[in-house]
């Protein structure tokens, strides 16, 4: 048996501690004291704090530390090695607004989704829904990894963007959670891991954040957003409707950041237009290859068609409508960004087909 240690506790009143006379010489150290920002109708927002020196966002952030913008930096601190240090490489004028929107319009899958509304579904439909959930959960994993992999390389001088991307990572985590929960709550389970080249393309995009944004927003983001709109329309219960409608809002913020950043960057650097266009062309080409794999295509057709029987005609027709809508939205955004390329320059999978029938 181990011997018990003698107690260090002493009895009686402890001797008074010696506290050195405070000098308070850290006080009165501020680059701008007396700042008083008031809340507006949306509360005290991040964007509203950009007053005086605190609102100065320089074109290049040379501080290699974690210094909050506007604070007095430590001298002689070791550099951390941020690589995205220029405003043009990450800035989006609406980043602070999008951050605030993400925080204020949050939702929780555990409590905001009416899970009890899910009833038993035919096996083919449940299996297809579970496969779609598996694919979207995988997309979410990739988003988390891509966003966080770039986030830590960005200078703290552009905290609006870093904070917004933190919410986008959380959005992706929540997306993962919600679709995993849907797959595991109605007698089904997760399906096949997707063979997804777009995932690799996004993960291995090392050239620059701007080029990565083009892939994550205009290729994957827009594809996911459009797919969720179609899934919303063909959902089988209120729980699915809630998930899809919340996810559409979440993803639209990431697309908004992407579009805003691309616009900001390309307006200041002519060469970026061609590199962004190239990245998008590669991304769309890989997405077209991914779509040759039947798993997602057939699963979506079954969901849209109400089962295997309906998938062959109605379901597949809706699937093609979905691709057309994705293409139209993608082309509209390209046009607005003055990016070269139209519908006919896209891979065959996305090109216009015969006029669609009235739905």
Partner 1 sequence: MSEALCFPSVEWLNAVREVFNTTDSYRGAGGGQCDCTVGLKVDDEVFIVEFEGFGCSSVQTGTDFELGNVDFYIEMPMSQWQDMLENISGNGHAIGEYTLNTIDLGSEEGIAHSKHGDQYRQDLFVRYNQTLQFFFDASHRVDTTFENS
Q: Which is nearer to partner 1, 148 or 252 (CB)?
A: 252
Q: Helix 238-266 to helix 95-104 angle, to the nearest 10 degrees?
A: 170
Q: Residues 74 to 103: which contact partner 1 by CB under 8 A?
A: 94, 100-101
- Would you state the torsion angle of the CA atoms of residues 76, 78, 84, 86, taken in this order, to the nearest 10 degrees? 10
* Site membership for partner 1, residue 245 (CB under 8 A): yes
Evaluate the CA torsion angle 282, 288, 294, 300 in order and state its sign: positive
117 neighbors 238 (Cβ within 8 angstroms):
yes
| Residue of 243, 206, 215 whose CA lies nearest to 228 | 243
* Site membership for partner 1, residue 41 (CB under 8 A): yes
Q: Which is nearer to partner 1, 127 or 249 (CB)?
A: 249
* Site membership for partner 1, residue 38 (CB under 8 A): no
Q: Which is nearer to partner 1, 69 or 253 (CB)?
A: 253
> Least separation, in Å, of the C-beta of 115 and partner 1?
13
* Site membership for partner 1, residue 242 (CB under 8 A): yes
160 exposure class (CB count in 10 Å sphere: 0-12, 13-18, 19+): buried
> Least separation, in Å, of the C-beta of 244 and partner 1?
8
| Residue of 307, 329, 321, 309 whose CA lies nearest to 357 | 321
Binding string, residues 212-231; x marks residues near partner 1 by CB under 8 A: -------------x---xx-
C-alpha count within 13 angstroms, C-beta hemisphere, residue 353:
13
Q: Residues 312 to 331: which contact partner 1 by CB under 8 A?
A: 325
* Site membership for partner 1, residue 259 (CB under 8 A): yes
* Site membership for partner 1, residue 252 (CB under 8 A): yes
* Site membership for partner 1, residue 339 (CB under 8 A): no
Residue 337 and residue 288: Cα distance in Å, rounded?
Answer: 22
The set of residues, in sequence order, having a beta carbon less than 8 Å from that of 60 and lying 6+ positions away, is: 85, 86, 87
* Site membership for partner 1, residue 42 (CB under 8 A): yes
The set of residues, in sequence order, having a beta carbon less than 8 Å from that of 340 and lying 6+ positions away, is: 273, 274, 277, 334
> Least separation, in Å, of the C-beta of 259 and partner 1?
6
* Site membership for partner 1, residue 332 (CB under 8 A): yes
Residue 100 and residue 114: Cα distance in Å, rounded?
Answer: 26
- Length in residues, the chain: 359
* Site membership for partner 1, residue 137 (CB under 8 A): no
**Which residue from 85, 127, 197, 249 is in contact with partner 1, where contact means CB under 8 A?**
249
* Site membership for partner 1, residue 352 (CB under 8 A): no
**Which residue from 106, 180, 289, 351 is in contact with partner 1, where contact means CB under 8 A?**
106
> Least separation, in Å, of the C-beta of 255 and partner 1?
7
Q: Which is nearer to partner 1, 60 or 233 (CB)?
A: 233
Q: What is the rounded end-to-end Cα distance, in angstroms, of the chain?
A: 81
- Binding-site ranges for partner 1 (CB under 8 A): 40-43, 94, 100-101, 104-107, 112, 225, 229-230, 232-233, 238, 241-242, 245-246, 248-249, 252-253, 255-256, 259-260, 325, 332-333, 336, 358-359
């Amino acid at each position: 048996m181990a011997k018990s240690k003698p107690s260090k506790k002493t009895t009686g009143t402890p001797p008074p501690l010696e506290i050195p006379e405070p000098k308070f010489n850290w006080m009165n150290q501020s680059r701008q004291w007396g700042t008083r920002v008031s809340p507006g109708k949306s509360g005290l927002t991040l964007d509203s704090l950009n007053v005086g020196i605190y609102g100065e966002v320089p074109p290049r952030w040379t501080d290699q530390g974690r210094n909050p913008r506007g604070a007095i930096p430590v001298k002689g601190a070791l550099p951390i090695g941020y690589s995205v240090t220029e405003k043009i490489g990450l800035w989006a004028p609406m980043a602070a607004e999008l951050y605030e929107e993400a925080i204020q319009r949050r939702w929780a899958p555990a409590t905001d989704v009416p899970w009890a509304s899910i009833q038993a579904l035919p096996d083919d439909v449940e299996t297809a829904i579970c496969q779609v959930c598996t694919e979207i959960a995988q997309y979410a994993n990739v988003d988390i990894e891509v966003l966080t992999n770039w986030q830590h390389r960005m200078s703290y001088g552009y905290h609006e963007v870093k904070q917004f991307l933190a919410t986008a990572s959380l959005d992706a985590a929540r997306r993962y959670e919600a679709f995993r929960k849907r797959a595991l709550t109605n007698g089904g389970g997760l399906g096949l891991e997707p063979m997804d080249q777009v995932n690799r393309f996004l993960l291995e995009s090392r050239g620059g954040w701007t080029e990565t944004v083009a892939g994550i927003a205009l290729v994957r983001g827009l594809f996911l957003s459009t797919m969720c709109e179609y899934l919303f329309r063909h959902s089988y219960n209120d729980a699915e409707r809630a998930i899809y409608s919340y996810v559409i809002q979440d993803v639209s913020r990431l697309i908004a950041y992407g579009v805003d950043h691309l616009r900001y960057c390309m307006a200041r650097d002519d060469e970026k237009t061609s590199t962004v266009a190239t990245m998008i062309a590669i991304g769309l080409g890989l997405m077209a290859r991914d779509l040759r794999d039947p798993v997602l295509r057939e699963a979506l057709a079954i969901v849209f068609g109400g089962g295997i029987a309906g998938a062959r005609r109605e379901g597949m027709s809706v699937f093609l409508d979905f691709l057309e809508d994705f293409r139209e939205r993608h082309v509209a955004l390209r046009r607005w960004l003055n990016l070269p390329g139209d519908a006919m320059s896209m891979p065959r999978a996305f090109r216009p087909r015969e006029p669609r029938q009235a739905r």
